[in-house]
A and B are shown apart, each in its own frame.
Chain A
Amino acid sequence: MADYLLIESRDPFDSNDVGQFYDLAANLAKGGNQVTLFLVQNGVLPARQCVHSDALSAVAGAGVDVLADGFSLDERGIAAGALVTGVSAAALDVVVDQLAEGRKAIWH
């Protein structure tokens, strides 16, 4: 087993590939790995209730720790206290923490 840090910078409005990255996160978690999905840039857009939010909440439901960059949320006027189920706001420092821990890190 390993620990993973998946960083999602893209959003599902713009890229069909985002759904596959969510699936990868879920599959890694189902495989017994500890997984963080860190949303950054436009990747935070589905953290506001919208047509793509259920898919994001489902990733959290699969056991993935889903975090959204506070700076990116603020930049897009998404209230940190109003994120969809399973998503929490976090500082970008978490990415550096988890890189420093040696997690396998994948940027999408």
Chain B
Amino acid sequence: MADKKTLTFALMDAPFETARTTTALRLIDIAARRGYDINVFAYEGAVFVPFALQKQHSNPVHGHPEVEEEDHPLPREWVSALIDEVMKNGGKIDWVNCGLCVDERGAGESIEGVRRGAPGDFWAMATASDNTLVIATK
């Protein structure tokens, strides 16, 4: 197994808006499978990525009149699965939602494993990491 590393990711995009969200989670998935320690600083719209109230829906246009058939992706489930994957492989994950971003958006209800934080947390994470990747919004 590769040497354990600590990587920090800063995200900004809300889910369902841009390809950046999926690419970011793909990167985190790779790191999770390697058992790396992972920090995520979710800034602005990204605080909605682990939002607990995301809900699946059916999609008659897709020919799926039932919710189960459509199996609509929910980024909160992806994040939850990533948290499980990290732990399974001996790593740790610290997902921090920027608190002021949470407040102004009313995004307070997050899945388990997500905590509220502030810009100082991002700096502390970055300082303690082997590397940091900022995936900003446009």
Query: Within 8 Å by CB, do A and B touch in the complex?
Result: yes
Closest to B5 in A: A100
**Which residues of B (76-132) have their CB < 8 Å from a CB of A?**
130-132
> Which A residues have a C-beta under 8 Å from some C-beta of B?
7, 9-10, 40-42, 71, 92-93, 95-96, 99-100, 102-103, 105, 107
Q: What is the CA–CA distance of A55 and B27 in the complex, to the nearest angstrom?
A: 27
Q: Is the interface of B mostly helix, strand, loop or mixed?
A: mixed
B23, A9: Cβ atoms closer than 8 Å: yes
Number of interface residues of B (CB under 8 A): 21
Q: What is the CA–CA distance of A57 and B29 in the complex, to the nearest angstrom?
A: 31
> Which B residues have a C-beta under 8 Å from some C-beta of A?
2-3, 5, 7, 19-20, 23, 26-27, 30-31, 34, 36, 130-136, 138
* Selected A-B contacts with CB under 8 Å, 11 pairs: A10-B138, A42-B19, A71-B26, A92-B27, A96-B30, A99-B7, A99-B133, A100-B3, A100-B131, A105-B133, A107-B133
